[in-house]
Structure 1
């Protein structure tokens, strides 16, 4: 029986990964801040799929939380075969409108936690000669989107570089870059979604299904929808200023988490 650890597991893409992996027979380590929701989720997945679901409450905006997950990932007696770094959030407001403390908190979760947890998992995976890491980024990584887009661009670049350095080791790394996904994300951040066209919304379970296919194929970047693949292709040709204007009109961020 293999084990997957998922951060930000109680909602959105994280919850979709938990459902999919439990249905596929993987034991789970579920990480999030809300211990009550974690326990409810663990019980439901255990009862439905007869897998083991471990609960690990942790706030990845704090060193203590990151360290707790690092310790679990490094446990040689209970190895983790797949890490899904999904925890993340957005801030409402433009640059200089968002308090610096919140910008730094975002970098802690999106960059430092991803670096540290990926490293903690990949070390043991390399020794065992197998394993996988999915770092949830966003198509915002490819357009001008302030701190959020910059942090997700870092996730993509880091993941691709790490995947190259670990090539041939049996460890697969992939950055998942969805567009707008129907989750709790925008509501939590206090962001309106009325200006986002209906065709731009993706289903979390379908995003995860596409991600798992791309991971199995050995891809290092996954854009899990033909519409967004086409948009990102056009983005490479469009002037940077035009992209910034479009992304501002469609909301503060593309929201996968």
Structure 2
């Protein structure tokens, strides 16, 4: 009987110790970040990596870290993790955040990509086993081509700018993410002076430009009361490589029909 009691006590003690270790491990995991490679895709004609933090904690202050990149088995320059092209939700520094890296590699044909995050083990993480993404095939990455297709006045003499993606590639969806930096900007000039600057979520809220041959007509809230020179410029050059960079600007001389009629009436 005594032996049974001793065995039972030992069993209960072991279970308590086991549960205690489990909870301590869980607690430790909750206090650490957890980096992973979320996606490898095209950005214009180049490679675009997204690395996230799925942990419950931010990265420590003054953190450093590298990622190694292999293309078709050939090692490329290291990726400096603290210096992304853009960030979403605060970047990988924050729990649930993502950092995006534009890699200047012309993906004109299909390539095999392997990515290893924090391969130097600079960052202490909750899970060190999910830091790689291997054998991902990307490409060919076709280039999009954003252009100013039209500038005209609507019935209220308001300037409308039509932006078109002439293709053949798609515009990456991340330009519509408000947290993204740098942004894709549509700038309007009135008589050579800047009048407004709009981001993609404003001039194309339906994301029509994501697709080749997609168009977005943007009423600018600029009303013309007399003859004026209006210029529209679309600029995403920091994050999108385009097939043709020469068609990103268009200038028109516009005059409201009602103001023109008033001038004609004055001359009579």
Normalising by the residue count of structure 2, what TM-score does the alignment of the two structures yield?
0.21
Structure scoring higher RCO (CA < 8 A, sep ≥ 6) equals 1
Structure with the bigger percentage of helix: 1
Largest Rg, 1 or 2: 2
